[in-house]
Structure 1
Amino acid sequence: MTMDTTFQGLSEEEKKEAFLARIDRGEKIEADDWMPEDYRQQLVRLIAMHGISEIMGALPEKEWVPKAPTLHRKLAIMAKVQDEMGHGQLLLRVAEDLMAYWGKGRDDIYRDLISGKLKFHNVFHMKAPTWADAGMIAWLVDGAAIITQKMLLDTSYGPYGRVLQRICAEEVFHMQHGESIILTLAEGTPAQRQSLQDALNRWWPALLMFFGPPEGNNISKHQQTNLRYKIRTATNEDMRQMFLDKYMPRILSLGLTVPDESIHYDKDQKQWIYEQPDWDEFKQIVGNNGPKSQERLRLRQMSFENAEWVRDILAARTLATG
């Protein structure tokens, strides 16, 4: 890996100051540029978690591929699952470039996932027992993901931002797919409408947790570092308010009831007031103690182990031709 010649002859402290100056000027950092160790660590932590969450996020919807109510819906959700897996592979490739500096690769990411060292998103530890849940994931979970990913488009790390341009474009279609399911159920029978309300009741706490704890919570210790390095450009609470601004009116327009009696819009504060979710529960869920955590981890472990012979052949071929 080459070093940016701009930093040659500088002390570590001077390099970091020059690096921060580049970021403050709006320059993009590339994979072979010099970067501080904590910047690299934060990028790997974020991008690996994002990539793994895309892959793990395909699992609850994958369960509905054989059970979708029509052929049209089956093809749509199958295409969505394929897209999500593809997003995961793109993101893990970006993470691999950064990890090569430490002599690590994609296998290490999967091992960290299976061992519990690498976390995946809280929402993908949850159950999806009905077709309404599949719609809720595509509409509101993907809608929340779009808010996060659009915030990251202007990240200081160039390769991540470029990959996100493609991912964001495809996620819009995923959200529209979910919205179509939700609208169909909302205009359906009383039983279908009730299934929709039940799904919202199940998913609402996880959706509020989606963006992570507010600033000041000891779980969100990485937030300030990411903001200073401009890896991200908004706080968790900023994004949660963006989500509520966009989706609360849409949820209420469908005649659905949000399972939080405290939630209301404060015109003076110009923000939604709501009851904070249980952040201790959040910590338990992302610690792989959620309703479906172990089952989905076992599926990923089985896939990883079953494909070991393929990786061995590819590695041998690379050595032979390299």
Structure 2
Amino acid sequence: MYGSASTHDIPANAATGLENEDPIKLAEFEARIARGEKIEPNDWMPGLYRKQLTRMIEQHAHSEIIGSLPEGTWITRAPGFRRKMAQMAKVQDEVGHAQLLYSAAETLGKTREQMLSDLINGKSKYSNVFNYPAFTWADSNVISWLIDAGAIVNQMANAKGSYGPYCRALERICAEESFHLKYGHDAVVHLATGTPTQRRMIQEALNRWWPPIMTFFGPSDKMSTHTEILMRWKVKMASNDECRQQFLDMYVPKIWELGLTVPDPKLRKNEDGVWEFTEPDWEDFKRVINGDGPCNKERLAVRRAAEENGAWVRRALLSPKAKYVRPLA
């Protein structure tokens, strides 16, 4: 659902790590990518490619797990049995996406246990948008529609990338996300065409979520010093700004069509087809990414509790001496 370019940036001097690579193997590697071939786990790859892919896929997986939490809190409070069942199925899908992504990341050499440990300890990041609260049912609907829409923009591009296991996982994920997006759109339409109270509720939710949505794709390209090598290796298939512009092209008209107002007085499309908008608060973005958002501690506390509560199950499954104990009647 939630893979974002906002969390896997590399330092400006990271390309110097290529100095230690075999130039012949590096040239062959880049030629394969230029030809559109997929890189597989047992193929030779530069250390920097492996490192950045691991971090990118791992953080995508974390975003699926953490991203299910704000929506998960609305399963029991969703209006009506049908909505509850749909919300439950969606959350289950997101956790399944994390499973696919952790498996893809493991092919690069990092264990799932280490990835989850790094998440809980705050070493690994996840998409900044999930550090904000979902106050109402309408907040959950905006997440299901517009956050998922942003994720699909990212993931559809990266599904055409160079690393085979990640691309195959994304193909499955994007197919399921298309249903999630339709579910979210249906829920938003229901509120936007409902009673005055419902319309007010969805507009207020959109107002709350628009600033995080605009940071979802990561800092603007003019602030980035790492995009060139990631795109050359087809780790990223589109820049942050390209993804943001595509999202605005696709979804601002749909928002306006519902009679909703985008809370940005500067938002408009120029004659050249480029959207203008209020520049996001990137300092606030960095603060939230680094652990000081409204819900950072809460999100990690839930994940930490899940790991601790499930530890006995993992020990039992992994122990060679584990025996099946018949439950009491």
TM-score scaled to structure 1, two decimals?
0.91
Any residues of structure 2 matched to 1:51-66 within 5 Å, and which? 51-66=61-76
Could you tell me how far apart the structure 2 residues matched to 1:39 and 1:314 are?
Answer: 34
Match of 2:189 in 1: 183
Residue 38 of structure 1 pairs with residue 48 of structure 2? yes
Match of 1:265 in 2: 269
Match of 1:225 in 2: 229
Match of 1:237 in 2: 241
- Of residues 130, 135, 139 in structure 1, which corresponds to 2:141? 135
Match of 2:78 in 1: 68
Match of 2:301 in 1: 298
1:279 aligned partner, one-letter code: W
1:119-159 deviation digits (Å, cap 9, x = unpaired)? 01011111101111111001100011110000011110011
Contact 1:154 1:232 in 2 (8 A): no
CA drift of 1:310 comes to 2.2
Could you tell me how far apart the structure 2 residues matched to 1:110 and 1:215 are?
Answer: 30
Match of 2:277 in 1: 274
Residue 96 of structure 1 pairs with residue 102 of structure 2? no
- Of residues 192, 195, 214 in structure 1, which corresponds to 2:220? 214
Could you tell me how far apart the structure 1 residues matched to 2:225 and 2:132 are?
Answer: 25
Residue 126 of structure 1 pairs with residue 132 of structure 2? yes
Match of 1:195 in 2: 201
Match of 2:312 in 1: 309
Could you tell me how far apart the structure 2 residues matched to 1:57 and 1:289 are?
Answer: 17
Higher relative contact order (CA 8 A, sep 6+): 2
Identity across matched positions, percent: 49
Match of 1:107 in 2: 113
Could you tell me how far apart the structure 1 residues matched to 2:317 and 2:221 are?
Answer: 45
1:194-245 deviation digits (Å, cap 9, x = unpaired)? 011100100000010010011131xx44433321111121100000000000
CA drift of 1:315 comes to 2.8
* CA shift in 2, pair 1:28/1:257, >3 Å: same
- Of residues 26, 48, 63 in structure 2, which corresponds to 1:16? 26
Q: How many residues align?
A: 303
Any residues of structure 2 matched to 1:146-165 within 5 Å, and which? 146-165=152-171
TM-score scaled to structure 2, two decimals?
0.89
Could you tell me how far apart the structure 2 residues matched to 1:52 and 1:224 are?
Answer: 25
CA drift of 1:14 comes to 1.4
Could you tell me how far apart the structure 1 residues matched to 2:284 and 2:96 are?
Answer: 30
Partner of 2:42, secondary structure, is coil
- Of residues 282, 290, 302 in structure 2, which corresponds to 1:287? 290
Partner of 1:201, secondary structure, is helix
Point out where structure 1 has 5 or more consecutive residues left out of the alignment: 1-10
1:171-190 deviation digits (Å, cap 9, x = unpaired)? 01001110111010011111
Could you tell me how far apart the structure 2 residues matched to 1:116 and 1:255 are?
Answer: 40
CA drift of 1:318 comes to 9.8
Contact 1:47 1:95 in 2 (8 A): yes
Point out where structure 2 has 5 or more consecutive residues left out of the alignment: 1-20, 323-329
1:68-90 deviation digits (Å, cap 9, x = unpaired)? 01000000000000000000011
Could you tell me how far apart the structure 2 residues matched to 1:288 and 1:317 are?
Answer: 39
1:266 aligned partner, one-letter code: N
CA drift of 1:309 comes to 2.1
Could you tell me how far apart the structure 2 residues matched to 1:239 and 1:122 are?
Answer: 16
* CA shift in 2, pair 1:221/1:49, >3 Å: farther
1:297 aligned partner, one-letter code: L
Partner of 2:221, secondary structure, is coil
1:98 aligned partner, one-letter code: L
Could you tell me how far apart the structure 2 residues matched to 1:25 and 1:317 are?
Answer: 46
Q: Name the structure where helix makes up a greater proportion of residues.
A: 1
Q: Which runs of 4+ in 1 moved over 3 A?
A: none
Match of 1:6 in 2: none
Partner of 2:259, secondary structure, is coil
Partner of 2:275, secondary structure, is strand
Partner of 1:34, secondary structure, is coil
Could you tell me how far apart the structure 2 residues matched to 1:222 and 1:117 are?
Answer: 21
